Chain A
Amino acid sequence: MSKKAKQAPAAATPASAHHTTPPAWLWLIPLPLTMAVMAYLLIRYETEFLLRAQELNLWLPTHLFWTGRMAYPGGLASWLGCYLTQFFYYPWLGTAILATLWLAISLILVWAYRLRGPWALLSLLIPLALLACFTQTGYWLYYQKLQGHLLVPTVGILFATLALAVQRLCDKALPARATLWARPLWTTLVCVAGYPFFGAWALGATALLAATPPAPSPQGGAAQSPKPLIANLVLAIALIAIIPQLYYQQLFEMTQRNFVYAAALPSMRYGKDSFEQYRLPYYALILSFAIITVVGWLSAGNMAALFRRKAFAASATPPHYAQANDAATPGWRAAAVTLLLLAAATFGVRAAWYHDSNFEKELAMDRAIQECDWERVLTYARDGSSGVAPTRQIVMYKNLALFRLGRAGNEMFLYPEGSTAQNAPWRIHMTQVGGKLIYYHYGKENFCYRWCMEDGVEFGWRAETLKFMVRTSLLNREWEVARKYINILKQTTFHRRWAERYEPLLVNHDAFDLTKLEASVANGRPLLDEAHMREFAPIMHMMTYPDRLDGDNTLVEMYLLQTFAKGNGDDLLFQEMTLICALYMKDIALFWPRFMRYATLHPKDDMPRYYQEAAYLYGHLEDKVDISHMPFSQSVRDTYERFMKFNAQCGPMTEEQKAVAFRPQFGDTFYYFYFLVRNQKTN
């Protein structure tokens, strides 16, 4: 575009317009404000999610990590996605970066499409769609195989908008005739050079470049002629069709042919099922670009220019470009349309935003367990404000916390029970979500390690996975492999400190010998510091069982119940766990020997309430053990009597009716659990 052309519209703008139309920059103010609001919402409502997201991410500044990403088309997008995700280690920092990127995208769009006045706000459609892509994640956090998936859409869109900006710069800098070849050249370059790095996002960028017409030229030159536009579109279609196939043939040896067009896009598939609803924000992205392109094209006066050019051709009178631009000056109608679209987009974001109280609780409890803050775990478990019954994972987290605090026998039935399925349209396996954490703390280190390895293979390596592998390897006294994982973590930006905290343990072998550890505590010179002692010592107690060949079939809770209930051991912690599991399984034969052993091992302690209740109940149900001399507490006896009396009063009620009727009075008793809590589905 010539200088003259650039200056003409400003010079020709009627003076009255300056008085009635607010300055253009005023319309830009909502952009950073919106980003700030979005950032605030993310921090306000998704802090736990963000923290978990970066734990389930890994970025390494190594050649191997780079080549691992680049083995697939779109590798750079994934690499950058991983890189950016790690900043959620500090949620405010990651969110600030994310909001800045979204703002950059918006501003580039405003500039590239010359969105004037209220039309500038249309650029918010893209960040809003990206926000929806981000916040709809939910359990995909664990199941998405595209590494860096949370930030990949942002990276991809940024790439596309930058490509567009470069095209616009070329349009401005080059003579009109030069754009005839510069645009297809740039489109080709973006597709050919961009595909290996950005995958499908480069194909999208190619389409965007081709679909975006050049800025109007006052000369009515070639840039405004539809022929180059059509030619560029045809070129883009050909490029999009051919380039991925060429790369498949020549370079990418690990990508299925059918998926070359979807490279670096989150798959939204699990097993044989594909979940179209999660693709809606991506369709919204495409639609938003289409709207912005059309509006940008119209608002720049193209339609009028094109129309007048035809008229000029007929009348041989040159059109005045300024008039064309004037014709496109946005007014209140534009503002109304923009607000309507933004309202729709906001509604869409709200609809897509994943909210599930159990999911959020799981995230929060998970972090509390990682920090061995067991009271905090119980605080979350106690919270019934959502009115939704907990998932098994929440119940298991709660049981773990109670066990660690030594209060299981007195409190295990004081918390909400439930087996609500995790809120995802596919079956969530506990092994892939919280199972590893549970196995880790119950001393099933091989199983924790196993599922870490399985997850690493299936979903890519994550900081969290490596941290588990460090700790299970230490507990298994596998020093060298623990060192390997520590060295990997030390290369990360934010987990280095964690790795350095565990690194000294690699040479502190005696600390992982329970006998020596306990002796050191008795001597007043513990081999572990307080935090490590709190974390490792109870786990080592739980590892006092003989090796055997086994398998869990992905059923974490059932496996733990079965193996502990049938376990034998004299370690105080381990033994109590065998009793708890025998009680939980309602297995009378397994219960009695473990109950007796518990009593023998704790001669000076009060027998916890629920162990008493179970013994008292079983003593009455079966006459195999004489309980007449056992000193049951009066409240245990009374509760039992009241329970049985109430049961007699309820007469012919069904079990479901009884479950409801008994809960207010007896919901916190073992009797209720034994008789009226059934079919808890575990996973």
Chain B
Amino acid sequence: MRTPRSLSTTSSPDAPCNATKRPFAATSITTCIIIALIAQLITACSATPSLPTSYTEGKALPKIYPDYAGVTVPANIAPLHFHIDQDADTYVTRFAAGEDEWVVGGRDVRPGIKRWRAMTAAALAAHSPISVEVFMEHQGQWLRTQPFTIAVSPDSIDPYISYRLISPSYVTYEDLTLNQRCLETFDESLIYGNMINTDEANGQCINCHHTQWYNPQRLQFHVRQHLGGTVVSYDGTTKKVDLKTDSTLSAGVYPTWHPRKPWIVYSTNMTGQSFHTRDPQKIEVQDTKSNLIFYDVETNEVTPITRDTTWLDCFPTWSPDGRYVYYVSAHWQRLDTVALDFEFIQYYKAVQYNLYRIPFDEQTRTFGPRQLMYDAVARNRSVTLPRISPDGRWLMFTEGRFGVFHIWHTDADLYMLDLTRAQPVEEVERDIITEVPNPHDPNEPDIWKRERADSLREVIGAMVPLPETIHAASEVNSPDCESYHSWSSNGRWVIFSSRRTDGNFTRPFIAHHDGNGHFTRPFELPQDNPQYHREFIRSYNIPEFMSGPVTISPQEFAAVVKRDASKATLKMR
């Protein structure tokens, strides 16, 4: 018989995360004191939960949120608190690992950090998963649902992630924040929030935060509109730069740091958005022009990499060895039917992106000719967000039917490309099928011609098989959208954005990677209050791993943002 180790229903406040923590507004000074006092009081007064001696065996798994059944977690992750979504009078949950067990009472199952650490340690020691049994009592009758397991991997995960929190809104932007979260605890703090430099007349958008090789001391993010510029923090020096030059489309947009050098490749984009009148996907974000630029942080010089206006180059990512920049690109030859942005709106389903790479010579800082790595357009698909595992073997990307901004596309899924086997493929020149007229009805509405073209592309694409070097990351995909993703520094975990919970709000999910291109069932970012994400009306944007916290305070960033931007100079190579 196992001996219950702990009988408390409340979280332990001790935190293994040794990082510097800044207060996040007034939470620390108000609620923590009150809640801690109340929690202690409740703990002291509450009865010890005990397992029922007799119960009925249920045949189903318990309905819990987040659904953690069968997931694999790193040993250093924060406790997987969950809420039982079934009505009952009393709830008791038993966790067991190795020879030990822990009993937790309450509908919100919150074992707390200390006990969670003991569970994961016991599971690792016993080479067995944590078993979870939920008991529910209703009108004196106890029911035990089918137990489920949580596997604990010895592969640790980077202690921090950064992300942007944004309401999935469309034009307005208040209360935008770049946040960091300790994955080992529930501590969340602000990197920078736009409201610190925003007033009624001057709004500010912040986006595209990115660190160099997980290093929080080497960070960049953009500030748009009011006090706009790109904030670059590099080993203690923080500056604001203006990357727009006369010879580039825009300032830098989607960034990728060189893995070691102070260089960043950006896409430059002319981006617009329009709104679906009926489709629940609601919004379409499109580039009408986009190119790539190279930026040297030390010399503050910008060099264009691609400039062809008939190609939309986007979402660059540097390979871990620094030899290539991978990116996606769509070909679009103007039809000149209407203004450029309207043309893109009309033919938005015909804009599709392939995966390319360009070799980079570190000595001369020059780029070679591009190579097509995956002809997604041939399959009537569109690729975006290539990200390479730190060992350089796997390239994960998001694929949908069209476009480049897949967070709004419910069909978007994650795919894996094995770079050890992938070879550049020959580029085929093909005309984009934009309209298929009906020969019997020359006056039919244009929209029908476009719909017929969409269908024809679909038929043609279905005949082209997926290359052998590519497979769907089916273990992590869902019927809803999967989009942004990033690799942990040991390549054993990926964190990715998904809208699987409600179709509208993006939540980060983490999955274990076996090194061979396959994953375990992903788990939603754990929260102290398990129902937090149900109430939370903001999306997580660009979740990225970091080796520690950003230590520059929001106020310090605010001071930098207030300064004039240092104008980057154009250097042609």
Contacts and interface: CB of A to CB of B under 8 A. Distances in A.
A165 interface: no
Nearest to A196: B26
Nearest to B553: A253
B169 A253 contact: no
B168 A453 contact: yes
Contacts of A547: 276-279
B52 interface: no
B196 A254 contact: yes
A22 B535 CA distance: 58
Contacts of A545: 277-278
A362 B482 CA distance: 43
B190 A478 contact: no
B112 interface: no
A350 interface: no
A593 B151 CA distance: 66
Interface stretch (A234-242, A268-276, A333-341, A365-373): A268-276
Contacts of B199: 256, 258-259, 269
A480 B196 contact: no
Nearest to A484: B502
Contact of B31 (A70, A450, A477): A70
A252 interface: yes
Contacts of A71: 24-26
Interface string B530-551: 0010111100000000000000
Interface stretch (A61-69, A116-124, A309-317, A399-407): A61-69
Contacts of A72: 25
A549 B348 contact: yes
Contacts of B555: 248-249, 253
Contacts of B201: 269, 271-272
A483 interface: yes
A546 B278 contact: yes
Q: Which of A75, A254, A545 has the most B CB atoms < 10 Å from its CB?
A: A254
A458 B172 contact: yes
A26 interface: no
A452 to B, nearest CB: 10
B560 to A, nearest CB: 14
B35 to A, nearest CB: 8
Contact of B280 (A453, A478, A488): A478
A446 B275 contact: yes
Contacts of B177: 254
Contacts of B169: 453-454, 456-457
A554 to B, nearest CB: 9
B503 to A, nearest CB: 6
A487 B172 contact: no
Interface in B247-283: 274-280, 282
A158 B37 CA distance: 27
A548 B276 CA distance: 5
Interface string A470-493: 000000111011011001100100
Given A254-B25, A483-B502, A457 B174 contact: yes
B456 interface: no
Nearest to A483: B502
Interface in A421-467: 444-447, 449-450, 453-454, 456-458, 461
A665 interface: no
Interface residues of B, number: 57
Interface string B187-214: 0001001011111110000000000000
Contact of A481 (B30, B172, B504): B504
B173 interface: yes
Contacts of A250: 23
Contact of A64 (B190, B346, B532): B532
B275 A457 contact: no
Nearest to B558: A257
Given A480-B502, A487-B534, A255 B31 contact: no
A70 B275 contact: no
B447 A546 contact: yes
Interface string A271-286: 1100000000000000
Contacts of B282: 446, 449-450
B277 A461 contact: no
Nearest to A274: B200
A458 B502 contact: no
B215 interface: no
B165 to A, nearest CB: 11
B279 A446 contact: yes
A446 B173 contact: no
A656 interface: no
B17 interface: no
A550 interface: yes
Contacts of A543: 278
B200 A269 contact: yes
A432 to B, nearest CB: 10
With most chain A CB atoms within 10 A of its CB, the pick from B29, B173, B278 is B278
Given A75-B26, A272-B200, 10 more contacts: A63-B529, A66-B30, A145-B174, A256-B195, A257-B196, A478-B502, A481-B504, A548-B277, A549-B284, A563-B277
Interface of A: 60, 62-67, 70-72, 75, 145, 196-197, 248-259, 267, 269-272, 444-447, 449-450, 453-454, 456-458, 461, 476-478, 480-481, 483-484, 487-488, 491, 543, 545-551, 563
9 contacts: A67-B31, A75-B26, A253-B553, A447-B275, A450-B275, A453-B167, A454-B172, A478-B503, A543-B278
